[in-house]
Copies of this chain bind each other. A is one copy, B any other.
Amino acid sequence: MPTTLPADPHVTPVPLDKAYRLINHGPTVLVSASHDGVDNVMAAAWACALDFQPPKLTVVLDKATCTRALVEASGRFVVQVPTVAQLALTHAVGNLSRHTDADKLAHCQVALWHADGLPLVAGCAAWLACRLIAEPHNQQAYDLFIGEVEQAWADSRVFRDGRWRFEDADPRWRSLHHVAGGHFYAIGEALAVDQPPPLG
């Protein structure tokens, strides 16, 4: 783990073969990137796992976003999983553009750590540090970006031993799932197939 991460005992490396599990349940994520001294963070509901090992993911980055330009220039980005406690922050970074407000991150109350030159949003439940796999046709035609996950971390209060613990953690750690406008759902109860719910 890069020594530039904070000495927070809750932030724990996630083995790369388990990294897909951080986003497998479809949370809305924050995408951050940095280039030439400029950091930015946006929200993205359209992010998805793509492969197990090496872990890859897709994320849709609109041409209007400042973060996209930082991803294209630096070839690196972070996908992180925000929590119910970060609902207002998540909505704010998804609706305010750095193109119109250079102090966007301060106004959205985003605190960043830096790890190996990448900006990570403090307070999230998990972080996936990605290297862009350049696919110019996808990027231009579909705004679709592919990343290979090179490092991953999670907060051990909600993800431990390779799995989410939403059912045991404070409900403010639950992931956010955007539907439209300012409307989200939190992730809910755990279900296991050997214990199907009653149908009656």
Contact = CB atoms under 8 A, between A and B. Distances in A.
Contacts of A183: 163, 190-193
A199 B85 contact: yes
Interface string A20-31: 010011111000
Interface stretch (A7-15, A45-53, A96-104): A45-53
A110 interface: no
Given A58-B58, A88-B196, A188 B190 contact: no
A170 B91 CA distance: 28
A146 B146 CA distance: 14
Nearest to A87: B196
A76 B183 CA distance: 31
B163 A188 contact: no
A189 interface: yes
A116 interface: no
Interface of A: 21, 24-28, 45-51, 56, 58, 60, 84-85, 87-88, 91, 135, 137-138, 142-144, 146, 162-164, 166, 171-172, 174, 176-180, 182-194, 196-197, 199
Given A21-B180, A171-B197, 16 more contacts: A21-B179, A26-B26, A26-B28, A26-B48, A48-B58, A50-B142, A51-B142, A87-B196, A88-B193, A91-B193, A137-B137, A182-B192, A182-B193, A183-B190, A183-B192, A187-B188
